[in-house]
Amino acid sequence: MLAAICVAGWHYSDEIVEWVEGLDSSPAKDEPTPDPEAYTVLSDDLESQRKLLSAQYAKATTNVERAAILGQARLLLEKNLPRLMRCWLGTEWDFNGTADEPGRGKVACGYFVSSVLQDAGFKVEWARLAQQASQNIVHTFLSHDEMKIRVGIKYEQFLSEVTASGTGVYIVGLDSHVAFLVVGAKGEIRFIHSSGASPYCVVDESRDEARVLRSSRWRVAGNITGNGSVIRRWLLGSAFKTRTR
């Protein structure tokens, strides 16, 4: 029974991803450009797979079966959330930007985070979430005990603590900014955000390139894909009520 759980759809998904990644067959450019077409395809495919897994979860009869499906759901999100984020690369930043699609206007950091989560199937209050302080955005998904709040510690110490907490997609709040931090299996990180610093657009930065993350004195981080409750709520289509304090 377990061997059959969540098999349906995965091979088809890989074919879709290969097609999406080949939508733009033009020569490589120095600067990334927003890709709204690929974004729509990825979002729609992720929603189809969420519904498939949700139906399988509802039919599961044991905790072992449910845990296996939640594990598949986590892997699905950790594979596709960064792909959705990268479709936004090159979209211009503006403090008041409210774009809800890549390249369709300018986007502030909070609206970038809120839009990606919404289009990944999280039932969020799009505008209200985007307008919150960064700690409230993280707290919308996680309890205070599940968040790492650090003030005045060195950059490398902060990264060591986060990577030691495990792989996943984190939401990170800074002094006056919010972003995604993707932590890989070998502790590598990618800092993906709508940057109010040069080059003033959505960027995907390495550990060394992440100047905004490095320079912040205050940091809060929460692993949304490493939390079983968050994954289950995403899978079942449950609403995430925006925290305002």
Nearest Cα to 226, choosing from 118, 114, 77, 123?
Answer: 77
Burial class (CB within 10 angstroms; exposed 0-12, middle 13-18, buried 19+) of 239: exposed
Q: What are the tens digits of pLDDT across the range 178-217? A: 999 999 999 999 999 999 999 999 999 999 999 999 999 9
Q: What are the tens digits of pLDDT across the range 88-102? A: 999 999 999 999 999
**Can you tell me the mean pLDDT for 93-113?**
98
The owner of tokens 């892997």 is 75
* pLDDT higher at 19 or 231: 231
C-alpha 170/C-alpha 190 separation (Å) is: 10
pTM confidence score: 0.88
Q: Element (H or E) spanning 240, and its range?
A: strand 239-240
**Can you tell me the mean pLDDT for 121-125?**
98
For the chain, what percent of residues have pLDDT higher than 90? 86
C-alpha 76/C-alpha 123 separation (Å) is: 17
pLDDT at residue 4, as a whole number: 41
For the chain, the domains span: 2-240
pLDDT at residue 31, as a whole number: 83
Burial class (CB within 10 angstroms; exposed 0-12, middle 13-18, buried 19+) of 22: exposed
Query: DSSP code of 98?
Result: B
C-alpha 35/C-alpha 91 separation (Å) is: 9
pLDDT at position 1 over 80:
no
The single-letter code of the amino acid at 161 is E
